Structure 1
């Protein structure tokens, strides 16, 4: 039983400490949000209030583990959510910003430290490295506003890694010099260890992760634990390589970026646990360091703290301003860059603690660092919140108006083995802004076994509903008893005004069947919606390359824009580059649409018009690749006789391959609607 003695300050019982921290995580953002104060500020101020320099309820050591995990988690999510295609396209901009945000504060800080504060050159350089580094403390704000993949966010995240790496290397060099270890062996060890670290994280880990996800696709808990293991293992490797663990966590995010689709249940779990638990612990940990008594320690402490804060703010604002002027960004975009890159925390603390331990920095700098962290975090939060709101509003105004017809996706389900893959594909292609649920359908034949099969169907649909619900998508399970499976699907699609149908195929065609089989043939022929016929042998997130084959005149189909946008959505969450096969005229139109509109897709154009020898494409599609074939219904603009043979060829010669066959949406006339399903 608890006794009143266990509530004396500071608290020591872990249950009481955890209870207090969870209450703080819950209450602080809610209270301060009423005063339009960002939740991040609420957690930092709450940490200062309950910390050793405030009410002394919690000691800094009580949250060390969780706050460290939170910092690594924050950097991991930044790497995981970054748009790799835009990152590669804008790597020059990231390098320019990274150079500015390192060199400007580093130069100003060194001069101020030497000439203004009277430190020697080594201490001045180390002090300046604290201004050059920064922490993506306000990244959760841009993520919450849905602009985490915006170009300025991408280049800021890229620049963060550059400046933090350089600042931490400065710290390592200065520390080595102070300890008398700065020799040729030091440089050789540093370069070799960094090379090994980069190779393990960016080459070996993705290979292992692809194998893991391919073989344990249904083990959700194991997948999450595997990702955590990758994050902390990469952080450990970074520490062994001589750089800070935050670099390793970010590189882990880059390594897993293409293997964790943004609409997947795994991504939802990663973001939820990070935003709800680990990152708030880190923010409270930052607050525990704040000591407001510094303001009452005399003029010297205030002068040092004020000087450090001004230099940090001016250096980071100058870097953001220079980047804006060079690349023509707007004021809100500049403020996003400044807000994300201004907050000081992790690397800054590492530098000041090492400098203080080595005698290069005095207690005034140590206290001034705490004040600088508080002020820069406060300003960063307010600036990022305001700029992110304006930028998100601007982006929303630029977004084309939502079509009048609501997006409704129907997923007929019959095979338990393909259930998860069909649901994952449906979730992947679903537009984030769509409020419509996914419609899972099970059709039971109306015969003597209907009652028994209906029970089985309900269990199957419940499993599918639970799987889709893990992505926070609404799901509506539908049962239909019909004399014919195809007619059950067709009637349901009409009743619900479905826009897309995602349906599985076993990849087998009998001699008497025209395309896929009686059920699929009827669904294709008697519907006008876009249909995705799938045979997925491996999880989509493990795809290495995507091969898209397009028939002539595909760009003239009524559903052209819809299937290209669906293709874009799949590409952006799986592979970074798409190989397009088709006529030059079709490829030009498709490529322009995929590249010019956001988010863009990297394409490789491969002219192809020898459809009579379709099998020559077999050598272009590997076992771990995904083949997407754009087909056409009979009597449509892009229909050709040879398209009818393609399902049979896929069945016979692409047995080991995963593929999706697109049937674009068609505009059916009144006669079609009145005759047939």
Structure 2
């Protein structure tokens, strides 16, 4: 019995979770010592322990569940942390970035796939559409460094929803065309689904959440469970409407954005569980799908992989460059935009897997895409960390964090009296709610 528990790959849930926790515990600290983003370490760890490495863990339903939760959590957090006022004020810039990051990779990718790699129009167009997607794998870096409110990041996150939604709609159109079902009924169903989804998520859910938070104000744990419930309800509704669940997760973050203050205890819980568990396991799962051995299957796989990677990175860099010039951004902001938008993971893999399973794409594109995912995630992490550091220094040089720039917030001091133990919790919650994130002083207790 004991011997069977240690048979590789591990299937005992205790051992599987133990290995995952060990990786999450050790890898970030190790990579911090060598001055590399922990994201790279977690992805590499996933490669090593995955089915194509030492086969310690299998890519089973349990890992798939954690992977799905982690990706949806990243998109949800991105929507939740988005400065809504900044996003609304710069929605045109988000549209500009969304247009660039969608069209440029597509326009570069299609001729390359069709004329250079020699694929027919439909598989070439489907592969090219993959270049337009991006997964915010490196978003935890900017969140941790405290620059997630920067306008360049706001428009990148905002542009993500536009481009991913457009690409996933293209996927649905191509699959319907491949099945011979591209007709008026398909278009009517798609439009109606989008309208109903938007009404439910942006009209009914905020009202429901506001009422829940008012009625159940004492049970703080229920607040977190309710937020998770809303996250997956929105993901399911998006799936029901023919969209990817990650679109629903981002929409859920936007729907709850104004109801969960950035400095609240609930937001701290959301960040804690995401950064400590769900997101790291998602990054490990990304590494587990990478099969380095496919490079040894012949030169064609390597050529296709390098071609796809070059097109993906060049298309995203050009999109960041034109966005910088159009919006008059700095070099570090351009780097942040490129870093965040250059990583390809779940959405990319979903498109290619669906195309492969439908017989539209071949194994060379599939294997090349897996190598592309590894390279772009590494490039994205390195560029994002470097640009985020530059952005922090840039904001300091501009005086965004000086007492003169912060004004009254530099002198803001919040005192919480603790004479009455019965209302300490309420007072601390109120203090965290009204405390401005720019304030240089912590909340103080008055005995």
TM > 0.5 between the two? Answer: yes
CA deviations 1:484-540 (Å, max 9, x no partner) are xxxxxxxxxxxxxxxxxxxxxxxxxxxxxxxxxxxxxxxxxxxxxxxxxxxxxxxxx
The reply on whether 1:229 has 2:236 as its aligned counterpart is no
Deviation at residue 411 of structure 1 after TM alignment: 2.9
CA contact 1:135–1:341 (8 Å) conserved in 2 = yes
Aligned length: 440
Which residue of structure 2 aligns with residue 25 of structure 1?
24
Change (3 A) 1:436 1:260: closer
Match among 434, 453, 456 for residue 440 of structure 2: 434
**The structure with more helix, counted as a fraction of residues:** 2
Deviation at residue 152 of structure 1 after TM alignment: 0.2
Which residue of structure 1 aligns with residue 14 of structure 2?
15
Which residue of structure 2 aligns with residue 325 of structure 1?
325
Which residue of structure 2 aligns with residue 53 of structure 1?
52
Which residue of structure 1 aligns with residue 213 of structure 2?
213
**The structure with more strand, counted as a fraction of residues:** 1
- Greater shift, 290-299 or 420-429, is seen at 420-429
Deviation at residue 409 of structure 1 after TM alignment: 2.3
Deviation at residue 400 of structure 1 after TM alignment: 4.8
CA contact 2:104–2:315 (8 Å) conserved in 1 = yes
CA contact 2:231–2:249 (8 Å) conserved in 1 = yes
- In the alignment, structure 2 segments of 5+ residues that lack a partner are none
Which residue of structure 2 aligns with residue 648 of structure 1?
none
Larger Rg over CA atoms: 1
Which residue of structure 1 aligns with residue 130 of structure 2?
130
1:372-521 matches, cutoff 5 A: 372-397=372-397, 398-402=399-403, 407-412=412-417, 419-432=424-437, 434-440=440-446, 478=447
TM-score, length basis structure 2:
0.95
Secondary structure of the residue aligned to 2:416 is strand
The reply on whether 1:39 has 2:51 as its aligned counterpart is no
1:104-183 matches, cutoff 5 A: 104-183=104-183
Secondary structure of the residue aligned to 1:439 is strand
CA distance in 1, matches of 2:274, 2:296: 37
Deviation at residue 218 of structure 1 after TM alignment: 1.6
CA deviations 1:366-420 (Å, max 9, x no partner) are 0000000000000000000000011012213322534898653223467777654
Which residue of structure 1 aligns with residue 335 of structure 2?
335
CA distance in 1, matches of 2:416, 2:383: 44
CA distance in 1, matches of 2:433, 2:395: 22
1:562-581 matches, cutoff 5 A: none
CA distance in 2, matches of 1:415, 1:197: 46
Which residue of structure 1 aligns with residue 345 of structure 2?
345
Deviation at residue 337 of structure 1 after TM alignment: 0.1
Change (3 A) 1:400 1:276: closer
Deviation at residue 36 of structure 1 after TM alignment: 1.2
CA contact 1:408–1:439 (8 Å) conserved in 2 = no
CA contact 2:395–2:401 (8 Å) conserved in 1 = no
CA distance in 2, matches of 1:343, 1:401: 34
Change (3 A) 1:439 1:415: closer
Which residue of structure 2 aligns with residue 364 of structure 1?
364
CA distance in 2, matches of 1:302, 1:272: 40
CA distance in 1, matches of 2:402, 2:319: 36
Which residue of structure 2 aligns with residue 74 of structure 1?
74
CA deviations 1:434-453 (Å, max 9, x no partner) are 3544224xxxxxxxxxxxxx
Deviation at residue 111 of structure 1 after TM alignment: 1.2
Q: Specify which structure has the bigger relative contact order, considering alpha-carbon pairs within 8 angstroms and separated by 6 or more residues.
A: 2
CA contact 1:406–1:436 (8 Å) conserved in 2 = no
CA deviations 1:167-191 (Å, max 9, x no partner) are 1011000011111111100000000
- In the alignment, structure 1 segments of 5+ residues that lack a partner are 441-477, 479-677
CA deviations 1:246-284 (Å, max 9, x no partner) are 000000000000000111110000000000000011100
Secondary structure of the residue aligned to 2:160 is helix
Deviation at residue 3 of structure 1 after TM alignment: 1.1
Deviation at residue 423 of structure 1 after TM alignment: 2.6
Which residue of structure 2 aligns with residue 288 of structure 1?
288
CA contact 2:416–2:427 (8 Å) conserved in 1 = yes
CA distance in 1, matches of 2:260, 2:224: 11
Secondary structure of the residue aligned to 2:168 is helix
CA distance in 2, matches of 1:270, 1:400: 26
CA distance in 1, matches of 2:335, 2:321: 9
Secondary structure of the residue aligned to 2:445 is strand
CA contact 1:231–1:249 (8 Å) conserved in 2 = yes
CA distance in 1, matches of 2:51, 2:26: 20
TM-score, length basis structure 1:
0.63
